[in-house]
Chain A
């Protein structure tokens, strides 16, 4: 079959349209929220939430299949978010708290998976998502959760920004640090849950962390960082999706969409980093 034949059908096949809608919602939410993860240095917390959501996904799937997945994930996310936020807020070293909770919850997930015959076969799907076979319900769920997460962050935008810049000053201005952190972590958890469906639990981190980090490399101002992260997330997510589709269709090699997207995100990050280093090198050379 010809490539053009395949390409021309990208935008009419339901599964591609669904994948694009899911990615658009995810990229916008992850782009914005990722900037806050970067500004507040919450990468490890995001990692913790990702792992902690896994047993919820596994248990939900074991109990009631694909539909239960989201419910289970949300329940685990809610529990993990509150636990992690409180622990990190109570001056137990934040990283220690996250490490303990994530190990505990991830092992719980593994136990559930190994005890449930129904889930074992779908482990791969749980970890790597199923971007090409998301259902309409899942598209709506993802979009809904992403919009909710974005709203949480947007409504507390000023407090989040203030807290990220200078948490003592923000508290002095009457912002409650715990409230801000909780709202942000709930938003992160929301993105983790919805991304777990499409991109997979293991690959959520790339989509959450890379856009903000890349935008921070290049943009000096706030508007630039947010726009850069958003653009990066949307463009690279679509590039990954279409790349995975084109490669899969033209070579008949099965490429999981989520993996393709994670790879292209990381590649974008590495390129950006290399480019940045080259420029710094030249500038130093030119300056001396």
Chain B
């Protein structure tokens, strides 16, 4: 049996003792992409942070790469944070940022070797940023920064990739490039968990969906989860807004 990259059973996470997300049972298998969908503030980022070990598990079980959460699997998970907290003046080049993705494999002292430099170069190529490698990170455009951080996640050569709103603010060419990248990674056996508002996108690249709003609404294959009842349960009042995003909801006539 293939090992599950991420496997949770009734797991709950908390911020400062207030439960932020409760009772999630889901899994990500190698070569699979899971879309994490829910309204703003529903706990999507919380779930990613919980998986990363930043937030404590208050109940249930969480296995990452087959290990309990107290095991540090930093070197094997790639993470793309939402790009809204980066100091534009920070004195690092894009290449140095991408190299951060290799830090856990480098440890405290070792200098980067050929394999590390190659991983960085590959990640830059995949994200189409090779020509910008020596530019200060802060001077890149928003879309390029986003891709740069994705390159950092890729440079880790992760088994599991967590992407927080990866399609936010991307123009059409960048969006298509990212979709192609995600497909390519899946074919290599990487498991992907990405948060998004965009149901179309979920359909395009994802195999299953985890629908949340403070707790799990549904988890499973796309067409089984994205039902009107489930979406109403998840989005409630903001369903109109979902429609405005030209989302086609099964069984819902407009």
Residues of A participating in the B interface, judged by any CB pair closer than 8 Å: 39, 91, 155-159, 161-162, 164-166, 168-175, 177, 216, 219-222, 224-225
- 7 example contacts (A-B, Cβ-Cβ < 8 A) are as follows A158-B103, A158-B108, A165-B86, A165-B92, A169-B100, A174-B77, A221-B91
Contacts of A162 in B (CB 8 A): 100, 103
With A155-B108, A177-B54 already in contact, 4 other A-B pairs whose C-beta atoms are closer than 8 Å: A158-B108, A161-B100, A168-B79, A172-B79
Establish whether residues A165 and B93, one from each chain, have CB atoms under 8 Å apart when the complex forms: no
Establish whether residues B85 and A168, one from each chain, have CB atoms under 8 Å apart when the complex forms: yes
CB distance from B192 to the nearest CB of A (A): 15
Contacts of B128 in A (CB 8 A): none
| Residue from A173, A222, A225 within 8 A of B74 (CB atoms) | A173
Contacts of B77 in A (CB 8 A): 172-174
Complex CA distance for A168 and B52, rounded to whole angstroms: 10
Q: A156-B108, A158-B106, A220-B136 are in contact. Are A169 and B91 (CB under 8 A)?
A: no
Establish whether residues A174 and B73, one from each chain, have CB atoms under 8 Å apart when the complex forms: yes
CB distance from B157 to the nearest CB of A (A): 13
Complex CA distance for A177 and B100, rounded to whole angstroms: 15
Q: A91-B16, A159-B103, A173-B79 are in contact. Are A165 and B90 (CB under 8 A)?
A: yes
Complex CA distance for A91 and B101, rounded to whole angstroms: 27
Contacts of B74 in A (CB 8 A): 172-175
Question: Which of A159, A162, A168 has the most CB atoms of chain B within a 10 A radius of its CB?
Answer: A168
| Residue from B16, B73, B97, B104 within 8 A of A165 (CB atoms) | B97
Establish whether residues B108 and A172, one from each chain, have CB atoms under 8 Å apart when the complex forms: no
B152 touches A (CB below 8 Å) = yes
With both beta carbons as reference points, the residue of chain B lying nearest to A91 in the complex is identified as B16
Contacts of A170 in B (CB 8 A): 100
Complex CA distance for A221 and B136, rounded to whole angstroms: 8
Complex CA distance for A64 and B162, rounded to whole angstroms: 57
Can you list, as one digit per residue, whether each of B96-138 has a CB less than 8 Å from chain A (1) or not (0)?
Answer: 1100110110101100000000000000000000000000100
Can you list, as one digit per residue, whether each of B161-181 has a CB less than 8 Å from chain A (1) or not (0)?
Answer: 010000000000000000000
Question: Which of A157, A173, A225 has the most CB atoms of chain B within a 10 A radius of its CB?
Answer: A173
Complex CA distance for A214 and B52, rounded to whole angstroms: 36
Contacts of A166 in B (CB 8 A): 81, 85-86, 100, 149
With both beta carbons as reference points, the residue of chain B lying nearest to A162 in the complex is identified as B100
Contacts of B73 in A (CB 8 A): 174
Contacts of B93 in A (CB 8 A): 221
B208 touches A (CB below 8 Å) = no
B224 touches A (CB below 8 Å) = no
With both beta carbons as reference points, the residue of chain B lying nearest to A169 in the complex is identified as B81
Establish whether residues A220 and B152, one from each chain, have CB atoms under 8 Å apart when the complex forms: no
B75 touches A (CB below 8 Å) = yes
Establish whether residues B91 and A216, one from each chain, have CB atoms under 8 Å apart when the complex forms: yes
Contacts of B106 in A (CB 8 A): 158
| Residue from B85, B90, B96 within 8 A of A39 (CB atoms) | B90
Can you list, as one digit per residue, whether each of B143-159 has a CB less than 8 Å from chain A (1) or not (0)?
Answer: 00000010010001000
| Residue from A159, A173, A224 within 8 A of B91 (CB atoms) | A224
CB distance from B99 to the nearest CB of A (A): 9
Question: Which of B72, B91, B93, B108 has the most CB atoms of chain A within a 10 A radius of its CB?
Answer: B91
Contacts of A216 in B (CB 8 A): 89, 91
Contacts of B16 in A (CB 8 A): 91
Complex CA distance for A177 and B108, rounded to whole angstroms: 16
Complex CA distance for A221 and B135, rounded to whole angstroms: 10
CB distance from A219 to the nearest CB of B (A): 6
CB distance from A226 to the nearest CB of B (A): 9
Complex CA distance for A199 and B125, rounded to whole angstroms: 51
Q: A166-B85, A172-B54, A172-B77 are in contact. Are A225 and B91 (CB under 8 A)?
A: yes
Complex CA distance for A220 and B92, rounded to whole angstroms: 8
Contacts of A164 in B (CB 8 A): 90
B53 touches A (CB below 8 Å) = yes
CB distance from A273 to the nearest CB of B (A): 15
Complex CA distance for A222 and B92, rounded to whole angstroms: 6
Complex CA distance for A174 and B72, rounded to whole angstroms: 6
CB distance from A111 to the nearest CB of B (A): 35
Contacts of B104 in A (CB 8 A): 173-174
With both beta carbons as reference points, the residue of chain A lying nearest to B99 in the complex is identified as A158
Q: A162-B103, A165-B86 are in contact. Are A174 and B152 (CB under 8 A)?
A: no
Contacts of B96 in A (CB 8 A): 222
Contacts of A168 in B (CB 8 A): 49, 54, 79, 81, 85
Complex CA distance for A54 and B104, rounded to whole angstroms: 38
With both beta carbons as reference points, the residue of chain A lying nearest to B137 in the complex is identified as A165
CB distance from A214 to the nearest CB of B (A): 13
